[in-house]
């Protein structure tokens, strides 16, 4: 049997680290996102994610909050917090995540 060690590129390592940090941070705040429910006339999460991916976002985690979609994602190599319009998916707020 032969083992091969693959050294990922620094960019791949950074993207994985950012995605893991995003998942870990949302694990603690998931209960807050689960309190609200999307309305019947809202864009679906899947459609919102497709829309955001077309705008350069990835590793998207989203939930309903106070009449809009809210969550965190990675854009341009940075974790951002965002709000999106519930019906159109238009990003209404996108700011770098800050430590709490």
**Segment 13-38, tens digit of pLDDT:** 666 666 666 666 655 555 454 458 88
DSSP state of 66: T
Q: Average pLDDT for residues 25-54, to the nearest whole number? A: 79
Task: For residue 70, give the DSSP letter.
Answer: E
Distance CA 98, CA 100 (A): 6
Element at 4 (helix H, strand E): none
Phi, psi for 82 (deg, rounded to 5): -140, 160
Q: In this structure, what token pair is assigned to residue 35?
A: 């309190």
- Give the percent of the chain with pLDDT over 90: 56
pLDDT in tens, 83-100: 999 999 999 999 999 876
pTM of the entire predicted model: 0.64
pLDDT of residue 89: 96
Region 47-57 average pLDDT: 97
Task: Note the pLDDT of residue 98.
Answer: 85
């Amino acid at each position: 049997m032969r083992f091969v060690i693959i050294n990922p590129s620094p960019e791949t390592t950074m993207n994985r680290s950012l995605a893991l940090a995003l998942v870990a941070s949302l694990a603690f705040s998931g209960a807050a996102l689960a309190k609200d429910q999307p309305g019947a006339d809202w864009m679906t999460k899947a459609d919102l994610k497709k829309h955001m991916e077309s705008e350069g976002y990835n590793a998207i985690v989203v939930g309903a909050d106070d009449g809009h979609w809210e969550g965190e994602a990675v854009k341009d190599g940075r974790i951002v917090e965002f709000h999106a319009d519930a019906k159109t998916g238009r990003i209404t707020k996108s700011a770098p995540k800050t430590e709490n």
